[in-house]
Amino acid sequence: MNDLTPTPGGGCRSAPVLKQRGQREVFCGLTGIIWLHRKMQDAFFLVVGSRTCAHLLQSAAGVMIFAEPRFGTAILEEQDLAGMKDAHTELDREVARLLDRRPDIRQLFLVGSCPSEVIKIDLARAAERLTQVHAPHVRVLNYSGSGIETTFTEGEDACLASMVPVLKDTPARELLLVGALPDVVEDQMLSLLGQMGIDNIRLLPARRIDETTAVGANTVFALTQPFLGETHAALMRRGARHIPAPMPFGEEGTTAWLRAVAAEFGVDDATFDAVTAAPRARARKAIAQAAEHLNGKSIFFFPDSQLEIPLARFLTRECGMTAVEVGSPYIHDAIHGPDLDLLPAGPQISEGQDVDLQLDRVRAARPDLTVCGLGLANPLEAEGLTTKWAIELVFTPVHFYEQAGDLAGLFSRPIRRKSVLRVEAAE
Amino acid sequence: MKLTVWTYEGPPHVGAMRVATAMKGLHYVLHAPQGDTYADLLFTMIERRNHRPPVSYTTFQARDLGSDTATLFKTACQDAVDRFDPQAIIVGASCTAELIQDDPAGLAETMDLKIPVIALELPSYSRKENFGADETFYQIVRGLAAPQDRSARITCNLLGPTALGFRNRDDVEELTGLLSDLGVDVNVVAPLGATPADIARLPAAHFNVLMYPETGEAAARWLEKTYGQPFTKTVPIGVAATRDFIAEVQAITGLTATADESRLRLPWWSASVDSTYLTGKRVFLFGDGTHVCAMARMARDEMGFEVAGLGCYNREQARAVRAVARDMGVEALITDDYLEVEQAIEALAPEMIMGTQMERHIGKRLGIPCAVISAPVHVQDYPARYSPVMGFEGANVIFDTLVHPLVMGLEEHLLTMFRDDFEFHDAAGPSHHGGHAPVAMSDASGGSISGKMMPDEAPSVAEGSNVIWLSDAERELKKIPFFVRGKARRNTEAFAAQKGLQQISLDTLYEAKAHYAR
Ligand code: SF4
Ligand code: SF4
C-alpha cells in the first residue's frame, strides 16, 4: 500500500515560483564529464573549447585528473579563430591521434563549449564525419556542455539526449532506467526490481557500448535523476512513455519510485512489501540516526543541480527540517511535479538566480543549513552560516534505500561539526 | 587546436581575478558566460578565503546573444558599483565574451560611473594566467599611480604578491621584517592587500622590490620609467640570494645596517654530518621560472644536490631559466605539456623532484619523492602555519621541505644493511611514509617495488628492450633498496645496450655499477 502521508497544505506544485534573472553562480554543463566518464568505461569526452574550459575541468575534478582520465580539451588557438586553419581538419587530426593512443575508446563525445558554440563550429557534422572514418570500432557523438546553454547537471542530460536518436530500436515492452548512477547503487536498484519479477531492464547510460540500450514504442522509462529534461523529451520522441515518480531519495522517495514502476508492471502488493520491507526498515533506522541533528532545523537551497526539490522533499518529510527557500536552476513540471506534490507548502520555490539578491535573502533568513556551491560556502561560513556544498551530492552515492542514511548524514555532518568545534576563528 | 588534459596556468582572466581578489576596494566586472564563475572556488576553497572574490560576472546565456549582452554588461557594472561601492573597477572579457565583440571598456566609459574604470585587454587565445595578472596589475598601476614627493624616510614598495600565489602571504611578512632590519620601511604592498588609494601612493617610495617577476615586472618597469624608481633584480630565495638582495638594497639606498641572521639555521643544518648523505642527490626542478631559478641555485650550492635537469612552464621566463640551466650544465625544458615533463623525469630518473602539484603526482606514479616549490598547488600548500620561502626563515623552511621527502640518512643505511629483515623489507617503505607503504606498483623501471612481482627463477625481459635479466642478476637487483633500484636497473640496461650484450648477468650488474660509480 502506498502510505505516503498527505502533504500538509497541499504541496508546492502550484506554489508561485520566484523567477529572477541576474548573475548566476553555477557550473556549466562541462562538469558532467567528471562523473560521466567514470560511468561509461569505454567513452572519451573531448571538449572543443578554450583554456578556460580545460581549467574548469581540472579545478572541478580536483585530484581525479591524474587517474588517466578519459577526457580532455582541444584548446582553440588564435589561428583557429581567424579561420587560418580549418577547424575541422584540426579536429580530425587531434581525434585521430587520440584514438590512436587510446585504442580502448569505443565512444567519443565531442563536447561543445561556449567558444565553439559562439563561433559556430559544427560539431554535429564533425561527429557524423568522424563516425564514418572510425566506424565500426568507434562511435562519435556530440552534445553541448556550454555555460551559455547548460547548467551543471544539464551536461549529463545533454549527453544522454545525444545518445537517444542512435539507440537501436526494439518493439519489446521493456523498462528503461535513465540517469548515471554509481555502480553499487545501480546494482541495488536492479536487484530490487529483479526480486519483483521485473527484469527486462535496460540502462541509459550503459557501462559499455556493447551493452546496447534500445528503445521503442513499447518502452516505458523511469528517471533516476531529476535533471533529465532533454533526455525525457528525446525518449518521448522515440515513442517511449515516462513513468512519473518522485526521485528515489530517502526511504519514502525510494518506495514511491519503486511503487510507480511496480504498478506499471502489475507487481502485487504482497510481493512489493516482501521485497521492500527489510530495506525500508534499514533505511528508516539509518535516517533516524542522522535526523536527530536535523530535526526542527531550517534549510535554504541555492540553485545548482536540480536535485534541490527532491532533496528538500526528503529532508522536510523524513528528517523533520523546514525549507525556507528551494532554488533550482530549472523546474520541469513533468519531472519535478511528483516531488513538488509531496513537498509541504511553505518554502519559497525559486527558479533561476540573481545571486546577490538571493544572498540578501539567505542573510535575512539565517537558516540553520544552507546548501550552495563551493564559491559561496566558505564566505557564508565566515558570516556564521552553516553550509553544505552541493557538488558532493552529485558525486556521492545517495540514491535508494541503502544510501538513505548516508544522504541524511551529508546534511547532518556540517551541523554536528559546528556543535563540536570549540575554537573561535580569529579576526 | 591542442589537446590538453592538464594546464599549468588558467586563462588570463583568472590572472586578473588574482589581482582583483588580492586587493581591497576594487571590483572586477567580467563579461563571461554562466559557468565561468567556477573560478571563485579557487579562491574560496584552495586558498580558503572567507569572502567571495570581488568579481561580478555578467553570466550571459545563449538566449542573450545579440544586442542584449551589451545591456547585460552595463547592468552588471551599475549593480556592482551600487552594491559594493568600490574605489575603482576593472572591466574585461573572458574567452567567450572576447568572441562576441562587445566592448567592455567602451561600454563602461559611456556610463559615467564617477570612479576610475580600468579596461583590460587580455588575449585569451594566446596568453595565460600569469600574463593576465602582470598585465592587470600594470594597467591598475598605470591608471591610478599619482605624481608625488618621495617619503621622508627611505621606503620601498613590495610588488607582485597576489591571491593564489605560492606562499605570497608569508613572503611579504618575511621581507617586511628583513627590510626593517635594513632600515627600510614598506610604503605599499601591492596588489596583495592594497586599495586603489594605496596604488595612488606607490610613487612615494624610493625604490621597488620586485618579489615575483611573473606578476609584477610590467608594473615595476613602468614605475622605473615614469617615476624613476629602481627595482631589485634579485629574488631573495635562498641564503646567498637573500644576501645578494641585501647588498642590492644597500647599494640602492646607501644604508649600511645589516640583517639579523641569528635565526638562520640552513647553513649549519646543511653542514652538519647528518646531511652528508644529501651530497650529490640528483634532483629535477620544474615550476614557474622564478622559483625554479632560485631553487636550483639553492639545491646546488646550499643543499649540495646535483641538478639533473630543470625547466619552467611559463615562456615569459624562458630566457632566465635557460641561463640558469646553462650555468648548471643541463638542458632547460620549456613546456606547458605535463606529459613532456613526465617523459623528461622518466628519462633522467632523479632521486627527487622539486616541482608543482603535477610533478608531485608524476613522482607518485614513478615512485620518486617530490617537494613542492611552485604554483600551481592544491589546498595543502596554502598552509595555516608560517611558511615563507623568501629570506632567512624561508631558507629554513625550504631546508625542511627538501629533506623531508627523502629517506633519512640513517634509515637509508639501515634499509641497506638489514634489507632482508622482515621490518625493513622493501614493501615497508620509509617509516615516515608508513601510511601508504607501496603496494605492488611499478617503480621507475617498470619493475615492482614490492619485490614480489617477478618469479625468482624465470629470467625476465626488460621492458622496451631485448635485454634479458638472468635470474641471479634479477635477484641481486631486488636486494638494492627500492628507492635506488630504478636507477640501477636503468643504468645496467643502458650499460648492457652500450656493450651490445643480450643478457644481464651478475657480473654485468656489477660492471655497470663500477662504470657509473661517482
Ligand atoms: S562556461 Fe563556457 S567557456 Fe566557461 S568553462 Fe564552461 S563551456 Fe567553457
Ligand atoms: S574540496 Fe578541497 S581538497 Fe577537494 S578538490 Fe576541492 S579544494 Fe581540493
Whether residue B16 contacts residue B28, with contact meaning beta carbons closer than 8 Å, is answered with yes
pLDDT by residue (tens digit) across B218-274?
Answer: 999 999 999 999 999 999 999 999 999 999 999 999 999 999 999 999 999 999 998
Share of chain A above pLDDT 90, in %: 83
CA angle A291, A296, A301 (to 5 degrees): 85
Maximum Cα–Cα distance across chain B: 84
Closest ligand by atom to B11 CA: 1
Does the Cβ of B376 fall within 6 Å of ligand 1? no
Q: Is B196 exposed, middle or buried (0-12, 13-18, 19+ CB in 10 A)?
A: buried
Residue A18 pLDDT grade (very low, low, confident, very high; cuts 50, 70, 90): very high
**Active-site annotation holds for B274:** yes
Read off the pLDDT of each residue in A201-224 and give the average, rounded to a whole number. 92
Residue B13: list chain A partners with CB under 8 A.
52
CA angle A224, A278, A290 (to 5 degrees): 70
Residue A136 or residue B417, greater confidence: A136
Taking an 8 Å cut-off on Cβ atoms, the answer to whether A74 and B14 are in contact is: no
Q: Which of A47, B38, B7 is nearest to B30 (CA)?
A: B38
Which atom from ligand 2 is nearest to the alpha carbon of B378? 8
User: Does residue B391 sit in helix, strand or coil?
Assistant: helix
Taking an 8 Å cut-off on Cβ atoms, the answer to whether B125 and A74 are in contact is: no
pLDDT by residue (tens digit) across A284-325?
Answer: 999 999 999 999 999 999 999 999 999 999 999 999 999 999
User: Does residue B279 sit in helix, strand or coil?
Assistant: coil
Task: Report ipTM for this prediction.
Answer: 0.93
Whether residue A312 contacts residue A299, with contact meaning beta carbons closer than 8 Å, is answered with yes
pLDDT by residue (tens digit) across A63-103?
Answer: 555 567 899 999 999 888 877 678 889 899 999 999 998 89
Is A319 labelled as part of a ligand binding site? no
- Nearest Cβ partner of A52 from B49, B52, B95? B95
Question: Residue A180 and residue B91: Cα distance in Å, rounded?
Answer: 40
Q: Tell me, what DSSP letter sits at residue A196?
A: T
Whether residue B205 contacts residue B150, with contact meaning beta carbons closer than 8 Å, is answered with yes
Whether residue A284 contacts residue A407, with contact meaning beta carbons closer than 8 Å, is answered with no
- Nearest Cβ partner of B125 from A62, A78, A98? A78
Question: Residue B242 and residue B182: Cα distance in Å, rounded?
Answer: 12
- Dihedral through CA B469, CA B455, CA B440, CA A397, nearest 10? 130
CA closest to B66 among chain A residues: A118
Number of helices (H), then strands (E), in chain B:
20, 16
Q: Which pLDDT score is estimated for A257?
A: 98
pLDDT of A121 over the 50 cut: yes
C-alpha grid cell for residue A303?
Answer: 540553485
Q: What is the distance in angstroms between the Cα of B210 and the nearest Cα belonging to chain A? A: 28
Q: What value does the mean pLDDT of chain A take?
A: 93
Taking an 8 Å cut-off on Cβ atoms, the answer to whether A115 and B99 are in contact is: yes
Of B378, B380, B382, the one to substitute when testing ligand 2's pocket (max ligand atoms within 8 A of C-beta) is B378
Q: Which of residues 372-391 of B touch A (CB under 8 A)?
A: 378
CA angle B313, B318, B323 (to 5 degrees): 130
Phi, psi torsion values for B302, nearest 5 degrees = -115, -20
Q: Name the active-site residue from B274, B327, B400, B421.
A: B274
Of all protein residues, the one whose alpha carbon is nearest to atom 4 of ligand 2 is: A62
| Distances A298 to A19, A328, B206 between C-alpha atoms, Å | 22, 17, 57
| E strand or H helix that includes residue B19 | helix B12-22
User: Does residue B402 sit in helix, strand or coil?
Assistant: helix
The DSSP bridge pattern shows strands A71-75 and A43-49 to be: parallel
pLDDT by residue (tens digit) across A335-348?
Answer: 999 999 999 999 99
Q: What is the distance in angstroms between the Cα of B231 and the nearest Cα belonging to chain A? A: 33
- Nearest Cβ partner of A75 from B1, B13, B33? B1
For chain A, the residue count is: 427
Q: Which pLDDT score is estimated for A79?
A: 87
A345 C-beta neighbours (distance < 10 Å), count: 14
Share of chain B above pLDDT 70, in %: 87
Question: Residue A390 and residue B374: Cα distance in Å, rounded?
Answer: 31
The pTM (predicted TM-score) of the whole model is 0.89
Q: Which pLDDT score is estimated for B419?
A: 57
Does the Cβ of A113 fall within 6 Å of ligand 1? yes
Q: Which pLDDT score is estimated for A66?
A: 59
pLDDT by residue (tens digit) across A409-419?
Answer: 999 999 999 98
Q: Which pLDDT score is estimated for B485?
A: 76
Which residues of chain B are under the pLDDT cut of 50? 424, 430-458
| E strand or H helix that includes residue B356 | none
